[in-house]
Structure 1
Amino acid sequence: MNVQEDFNKFIKDAKRVLKVSRKPDGNEYLDLAKISALGVVVVGGIGYLIVCLGYLIGL
């Protein structure tokens, strides 16, 4: 395959994805926001615990 064929395949695949995709409704968007916020809180909590553990150990 050459570059032109790869590019045409990518464009064809991108068009297909855009045809199938849809805009999320309000409830779906709210669920995604909640899950994302929970992930941020969990990762931040883990980072905070690591820093606290480092202070306790004396690093």
Structure 2
Amino acid sequence: MNINKESVRGFLKQCERVLRISKKPDNEEYKTVSKVTGIGIIIIGVIGFIIALLSQVIFYS
């Protein structure tokens, strides 16, 4: 991997562009993202619990 001044400058320009166009989420958007993330975590946990339960029933019966 070759790092030179041009690649560092290009990376910094891209970072600056992202920071300029990004915005802080408002309260409603934050709540929505939090709800969706929470629901996803719960669903993954339930699936993992069901798989663990089934494996115990199948292998220890």
Whether TM-score is above 0.5 comes out as yes
Count of aligned positions = 58
Post-superposition Cα deviations, 1:5-46, rounded to whole Å, max 9, x if no partner, equal 221111000000000000000000000000010110011011
Using structure 2 for the length normalisation, give the TM-score. Answer: 0.87
Using the size of structure 1 for normalisation, the TM-score is 0.90
Moved over 4 A (4+): none
Task: Provide the secondary structure at the position in 1 that maps to 2:40.
Answer: helix
Percent identity of the aligned residues? 36
The Cα RMSD (Å) is: 1.2
**Structure 1: tracts of 5 or more residues without a match:** none
Structure 1 residue 10 and structure 2 residue 11: aligned? yes
Letter in 2 for 1:21: S
Aligned match of 1:39 = 40
The equivalent residue for 1:19 is 20
Equivalent residue of 1:24, what SS? Answer: coil
Structure 1 letter corresponding to 2:8: F
Return the letter of the residue paired with 1:17: V
| Unaligned stretches of 5+ residues in structure 2 | none
